[in-house]
């Protein structure tokens, strides 16, 4: 395994260690400045899963789609962690593996802050790839605006061995279809800030049906339009489609399994995802959890 380069990332890694402490400190200071709202003010929307304080159904709090994000997962000051594994295979050459450690922190005003630590295994060699910081903001409580639009911004500090830093923006959309069906759609723009200045436009989507309180089955797909500087008129087109499943292993854990198959020549033959998530907010049920947020965020 190649050694990491600490000089560039020391300050950012410190954020990973201190983020739960910072959340606790801000929560304490918020006690005297913001009114209290409880999750019992919103109804449960799907098969016994606890709804979020913004009226969002329980499936949005447990990442249902690996390739597509929907709304915000965390109530204010809730914390969760996720471990990701992505594998890609090609006609020629060895498989490529990406591993991601993620920390999720809910913020007031329908916001969520996420930290990512990414590393890769290629040609039997494992090395650090990048650190990323993500902020998402839902424009309104659930069902107030059609499709529940949420804005997403992410910055990646990339190791020099893997290219330049990357800036990414997304529009997250999603909703229920009837009682047991859910969907999500993302519109994505990603830009390298140096080097070949690769530009990606993506559309990702997922459709899922709740089978039981513990099992959901569905389909995910994505389209990627990729160009590099000096060859903008010669894009790569990547389309991948395949099944997905989520297993709720307990009240605070979820396991996502996704297998996408390439249907265009530029796409990998196969792209598989395994995502394991844990909610760290074990001390209470949502119905007893007092959340500090602005009065305008509460729903009657």
Task: Answer yes or no: is pLDDT of 55 > 70.
Answer: yes
**Nearest C-alpha neighbor of 30 from the set 125, 106, 131, 140:** 106
* Burial (0-12, 13-18, 19+ Cβ within 10 Å), 107: buried
Identify the pLDDT of residue 278.
Answer: 95
pLDDT band at 122 (very low <50, low <70, confident <90, very high): confident
170 or 6, higher pLDDT:
170
174 or 288, higher pLDDT:
174
Task: Answer yes or no: is pLDDT of 200 > 80.
Answer: yes
Return the CATH number at 232.
Answer: 2.40.160.40
Task: Answer yes or no: is pLDDT of 13 > 90.
Answer: no
pLDDT tens digits, residue range 31-46? 444 444 443 333 333 4
Q: Judge whether 251 lies within some domain.
A: yes
Identify the pLDDT of residue 287.
Answer: 40
Radius of gyration of the chain (CA): 20
pTM: 0.79
Mean pLDDT score, 64-75? 96
Task: Answer yes or no: is pLDDT of 11 > 50.
Answer: no
pLDDT band at 21 (very low <50, low <70, confident <90, very high): very low
Pairing of strands 253-262, 270-279: antiparallel
pLDDT tens digits, residue range 162-182? 999 999 999 999 999 998 999
Q: Judge whether 300 lies within some domain.
A: no
Q: Judge whether 160 lies within some domain.
A: yes
Give residue 219's domain range: 6-295
Identify the pLDDT of residue 124.
Answer: 82
292 or 10, higher pLDDT:
10
Q: Judge whether 85 lies within some domain.
A: yes
Q: Judge whether 120 lies within some domain.
A: yes
Mean pLDDT score, 99-106? 97
- How many domains does one find in the chain? 1
**Nearest C-alpha neighbor of 26 from the set 69, 77, 100, 61:** 77
Identify the pLDDT of residue 282.
Answer: 53
pLDDT band at 92 (very low <50, low <70, confident <90, very high): confident
Task: Answer yes or no: is pLDDT of 199 > 90.
Answer: yes
Q: Judge whether 38 lies within some domain.
A: yes
Task: Answer yes or no: is pLDDT of 294 > 50.
Answer: no
Task: Answer yes or no: is pLDDT of 18 > 50.
Answer: no
> What's phi and psi for 24, nearest 5 deg?
-65, -40
Q: Judge whether 1 lies within some domain.
A: no
pLDDT tens digits, residue range 142-161? 999 999 999 999 999 999 99
Pairing of strands 199-210, 181-192: antiparallel
Q: In b/e form, how buried is each residue of 2-40, taking b as 16+ CB within 10 angstroms?
A: eeeeeeebeeeeeeeeebeeebeeeeeebeeebeebebe
pLDDT tens digits, residue range 217-261? 999 999 999 999 999 999 999 999 999 999 999 889 999 999 999
């Amino acid at each position: 395994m190649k050694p990491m380069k600490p000089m560039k990332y020391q300050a950012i890694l410190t954020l990973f260690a201190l983020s739960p402490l910072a959340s606790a400190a801000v929560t304490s200071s918020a006690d005297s400045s913001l009114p209290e709202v409880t999750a019992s003010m919103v109804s449960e929307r799907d098969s016994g899963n606890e709804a979020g304080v913004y009226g969002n159904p329980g499936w949005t709090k447990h990442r249902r789609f690996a390739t597509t994000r929907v709304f915000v997962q965390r109530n204010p000051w809730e914390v969760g962690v996720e471990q990701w594994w992505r594998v890609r295979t090609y006609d020629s050459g060895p498989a490529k593996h990406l591993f991601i450690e993620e920390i999720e922190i809910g913020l007031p005003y329908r916001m969520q802050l996420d930290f990512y630590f990414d590393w890769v295994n290629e040609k039997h060699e494992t090395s650090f790839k990048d650190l990323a910081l993500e902020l998402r903001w839902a424009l309104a409580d659930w069902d107030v605006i059609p499709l529940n639009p949420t804005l997403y911004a992410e910055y990646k500090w990339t190791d020099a061995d893997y290219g330049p830093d990357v800036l990414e923006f997304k529009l997250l959309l999603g909703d229920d279809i009837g009682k047991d069906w859910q969907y999500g759609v993302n519109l994505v723009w990603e830009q390298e800030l140096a080097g070949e200045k690769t530009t990606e436009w993506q559309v990702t989507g997922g459709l899922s049906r709740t089978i039981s309180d513990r099992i959901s089955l569905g389909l995910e797909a994505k389209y990627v339009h990729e160009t590099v500087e000096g060859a903008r008129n010669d894009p790569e087109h990547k389309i991948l489609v395949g099944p997905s499943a989520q297993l709720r292993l307990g009240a605070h854990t979820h396991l996502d399994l996704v297998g996408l198959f390439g249907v265009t020549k530029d796409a990998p033959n196969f792209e598989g995802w395994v995502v394991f998530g844990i909610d760290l907010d074990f001390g209470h049920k949502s119905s007893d959890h007092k959340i500090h947020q602005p009065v305008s965020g509460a729903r009657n």
